[in-house]
Structure formats: structure tokens, C-alpha cells
Amino acid sequence: MLTAGSFAGKTVLITGGGTGLGRSIAVTLGKLGANLVIASRKKDVIEQAALELAEETGAQVLGLPCDVRKMEDVEAVLDAAWARFGRVDVLINNAAGNFIAPTESLSHRAFEVVVDIVLKGSINCTLACGKRWIADGKPANVLSVVTTYAWTGTGYTVPSACGKAGVLALMRSLAVEWGPHQIRCNAVAPGPFPTEGAWSRLFPVDMLPEQVAREASPEYRIPLGRVGEHEELANLCSYIVSDYAGYLNGECITLDGGEWLQQAGQFSWVRHIPKELWPQIEKWIRGKA
Ligand code: HXC
Ligand code: NAP
């Protein structure tokens, strides 16, 4: 979507950039000329992904082990990135943990692990980068990957909902506080985009009774009738963190094919009324008036 070289000379740090959506965003940014720093817990996965990304995009890629919950890990990643590339210009808070479960079945540790990865991890990375950026006095920006239940809430992934709501508040708050330092903070809220990480923890489709599987399906839930394509999200993220979006600050852009609005709309059920019933319904309504 952006012109070649849009990110030439820029360095982007993507947490969880070795798999799934983070990796897809990395591919697009690498092809647009960015230096990439990807960081996550699994050393072998992140190092292998760095090799593959360098090969696929021609970008310079640093793949570093890091648990975003640990500030010392985050600082070590930033030290290495500053040493290799001079600075980081863009932080993408993408790392997350999540799984479906009835909330009352969760141990306090299960709740904590998800909130810590999502919220504490984003706080750690944003704070560590922000301090360096403010000391530098140069423009920079943060993009956090949330989802639509950051504002609707949702049952069955409650720790994630709490974490993502906090991350959205973090972005909106810092957009105001750090705007004067020319640090933009935004969020993106994807609907369902198939990844191994999400699908293996959130959509046990093969195990579901037929009716439940139907209600969980994209055709049923999403006005556009399909899941998202990684490139669609990667293009949007690239735009948000680019200089073309230099006036975008404190915003959260939804990319979900209309999913959350359909779930929220009071009369969305009307779409299930068979077409041939409408003359009768109209007659019934007019008869009552
Ligand atoms: C209940 C569970 C559980 C489950 C783990 N726990 N899985 N409880 N149901 N399915 C409990 C454990 O028993 C333990 O509590 C505590 O949680 C910590 O578990 P660990 O396995 O020790 O944690 P860890 O190895 O750090 O793994 C973290 C994780 C895991 C979050 C549980 O799933 C992970 O690594 N996820 C990273 C990737 C990920 O989740 N990707 C999906 C993002 S998708 P006790 O009390 O026993 O010690 C996403 C999409 C949003 O966010 C929107 C979609 C549309
Ligand atoms: P994913 O591939 O499982 O991505 C999660 C990444 O986070 C992994 O690379 C994982 O790597 C990393 N991670 C987890 N805990 C970490 C920690 N403590 N420190 C550092 N890294 C950690 O799943 P995904 O679907 O691509 O999700 C990416 C983002 O999109 C998440 O923020 C998710 O909430 C969001 N999202 C996804 C969807 C979707 O439909 N897929 C929809 C809405 C929002 P390690 O295991 O190596 O640490």
C-alpha cells in the first residue's frame, strides 16, 4: 500500500514478531525498508524467524529472546537495538497470551499470566522506549494491537479483555501526555485473523457441536462473511506507524469486517428472517398501526 522505501532508515521493534500477525507485520515493514527488531520468549523460534525475515524481505533483522513481563529483558533488547541501529523509531506492542475458559475455573495465576503478558508487557516496552525517546527529543510512535473487546468486554477471555482494555487506555492516555514530545500512540483492533497461536487456544472448531460451530463461524458472525487476511492488517499497521499518518494520535482503528457492530446491533437478528416472510410481517405491522 505504501511506496517502496517508506521506512528506509527507520527501525521497528515488534514484540511477538516471530509468529502470527507480528510476523506478517514484520514482512510488510521489512519489504518497505525498515530495520526490524523482533523479540519474544522462545529463543529458537525468534532467531529462526529473524533469519527467514531477512531472507524474505532483504531487511536487517535482529531476533532477540525477551519476556516482555521482565523489565531487564526489555531494556536488554533496547540496548541491543540502539547498539545495532542507533535507535528504535517505532514500537509495536503485539505480544499476547490468551485462551478461552469459564472465568470461575481460572486460578489467580492463570488470570495473572495473561494480564501480565498483555498489559504489563505493553507498559514495560512503552515506558522503556518512551524514556529513551523523550531523552532523544526525536519523533517516534507506538502501535498496540488490541481487539474490539477492549471496549465491549467479553465473557470467556476475561483476563485478555482486562489486559487489552488497559492497553487501549495506555495508548489514549500517552497520546495526550507524550504528544508534545512528538510521540504518537495508537491502537489497532483486529477481528479474527487465523493464526496458529490464536486458533489453537480460542477456536476448538472441530470439537464444537454443529450449532455452536455455526455461530462461531465467520459467515455467521461477520457482515463481510470472512476472516481477515494478514496482509490487510499489515498494510493498515504500516500506514499507522508511517509518516503518512503523522497526525494520527490516540486513535484505535478497527479492522474486523463489521464483526463487533453486528454483535452489538440490537436488530442484527433480523437478518435471519427468510425473505418470503417479509410480506406477512409488513401486513402484521401495518395491521397493528
Ligand atoms: C485454564 C490455564 C490454561 C487453560 C494455562 N492455564 N492454560 N488455565 N485453562 N487453557 C493456567 C496454568 O494452569 C497456570 O496456572 C497459569 O495458567 C500459567 O500457565 P503456564 O502454562 O505456566 O503459562 P505460560 O507457559 O507462561 O503460558 C502462557 C499462556 C500460553 C498464556 C497460558 O497460552 C501462552 O504462552 N500463550 C502465548 C501465545 C498466545 O496466547 N497467543 C494467542 C493470542 S490470540 P496454575 O494455577 O496451574 O499455576 C489473541 C486474540 C484476541 O489474543 C482476539 C481474537 C479475535
Ligand atoms: P501468536 O502468534 O500466538 O502471537 C503472540 C506472540 O506473543 C507470540 O509470538 C509469542 O511468542 C509472543 N509472546 C507471548 N508471551 C510473551 C512474553 N511474555 N514476552 C514476549 N513475547 C511473548 O498470536 P497472534 O494471533 O499472531 O496474536 C498477535 C496479536 O494480535 C496479539 O496481541 C493478539 O491479541 C492480537 N489479536 C489477534 C487476533 C487474531 O485473530 N489472531 C485478533 C485480535 C487481536 P513466544 O511464545 O515466543 O513468547
pLDDT in tens, 54-98: 999 999 999 999 999 999 999 999 999 999 999 999 999 999 999
Minimum-distance ligand 1 atom for the alpha carbon of 41: 35
Query: Does residue 289 carry a pLDDT above 80?
Result: no
Residue nearest atom 9 in ligand 2 by C-alpha distance: 16
**149 among known catalytic residues:** yes
Instruction: With respect to residue 4, please indicate whether it lies within any of the assigned structural domains.
Output: no
Q: Which ligand is nearest to the CA of 190?
A: 2
Strand, coil or helix: what is 77?
helix
31 domain-assigned? yes
Nearest ligand to the C-alpha atom of residue 146: 2
Query: Does a structural domain hold residue 283?
Result: yes
**How many domains is the chain partitioned into structurally?**
1
Give the residue from 152, 38, 159 showing the smallest Cα distance to 93: 38
Q: Is residue 1 part of a domain?
A: no
pTM of the model: 0.98
Closest ligand 2 atom number to CA of residue 46: 47
Categorize the per-residue pLDDT at 254 as very low, low, confident or very high, splitting at 50, 70 and 90: very high
pLDDT tens-digit profile of 164-221? 999 999 999 999 999 999 999 999 999 999 999 999 999 998 999 999 999 999 999 9
Q: Is there a domain that residue 6 lies in?
A: no
Domain with residue 90: its CATH number is 3.40.50.720
User: pLDDT tens digits, residue range 179-194?
Assistant: 999 999 999 999 999 9
Q: What is the pLDDT of residues 30-62, one digit of tens each?
A: 999 999 999 999 999 999 999 999 999 999 999
In a domain, 136, yes or no: yes
Domain region containing 251: 11-288
pLDDT tens, 94-126?
Answer: 999 999 999 999 999 999 999 999 999 999 999
Bridge-partner residues for 254, per DSSP? 189
Residue 113 Cβ < 6 Å to ligand 1: yes
